[in-house]
């Protein structure tokens, strides 16, 4: 697993962004940027060279599902691994995310072990950097 991967963590609750950042750091990933909404995240993704996106669903400006669709619609970002980390656990939303091209889905409250497992599963499908 490449520990130099550049992560973008998107959540409208700053405490959650901080928790995810801490968990990623414990897993060895120190390059973690934060954004508070899909709206602020998209320009960062388009401008920066992020390797991984972790996003919440419910955000006031641009919800995570819309961010995911925008990423998949952009030729420069279409292949970006995206993991949704959200309290939304309704079946139709999970299906919607899967159909929109999400790579992983973790429901809150989560454990570091679950996050690691889902990340590993996505890394296994990624081409080496």
Partner 1 sequence: MDEITARYGMAVEKLVRALERRDKTAFFVALDEVMRVRDAYVMDRLDELTLNLQSALERFCTDSRLVDLAEKEVPDAHVRLERVLEMTDTAAHRTLDLIEDACPPADRIGRRAGELLSRWRAAGESGGAPRDPALRESVDTFLAAVQHDAGHVHRNLKEVLLTQEYQDLSGQIIRGVMDLIAELEEALRVLVTLTHRGSQNRGSNETVPAVGTLGDAVGQSEIDSLLSSFEI
Interacting residues with partner 1 (CB under 8 A): 11, 13-16, 18-19, 22-23, 26, 58, 87, 108-112
Minimum distance, C-beta of residue 115 to partner 1, in the bound complex (Å)? 10
Residue nearer to partner 1 on the CB measure, 72 or 108: 108
Contacts from 106-109 at CB under 8 Å and sequence distance 24+? Answer: 108/16
Residue nearer to partner 1 on the CB measure, 23 or 84: 23
Minimum distance, C-beta of residue 83 to partner 1, in the bound complex (Å)? 16
Minimum distance, C-beta of residue 109 to partner 1, in the bound complex (Å)? 5
CA 57 remoteness from chain centre: 10
| HEC-encoded secondary structure of 85-103 | EECCCCHHHHHHHHHHCCC
Name the E strands within 40-117: 52-55, 82-86, 104-107
């Amino acid at each position: 697993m490449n520990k130099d991967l550049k992560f973008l963590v998107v959540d409208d609750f700053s405490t959650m962004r901080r928790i995810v950042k801490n968990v990623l750091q414990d897993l060895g990933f120190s390059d973690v940027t934060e954004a508070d909404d899909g709206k602020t995240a998209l320009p960062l993704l388009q401008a920066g060279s992020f390797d991984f996106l972790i996003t919440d669903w419910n955000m006031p400006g641009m919800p995570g599902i819309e961010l995911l669709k925008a990423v998949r619609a952009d030729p420069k970002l279409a292949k970006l691994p995206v993991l949704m980390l959200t309290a939304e656990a309704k079946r139709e939303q999970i299906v919607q995310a899967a159909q929109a091209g999400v790579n992983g889905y973790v429901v809150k409250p989560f454990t570091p072990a679950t996050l690691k497992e889902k990340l590993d599963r996505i890394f296994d499908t990624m081409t080496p950097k």
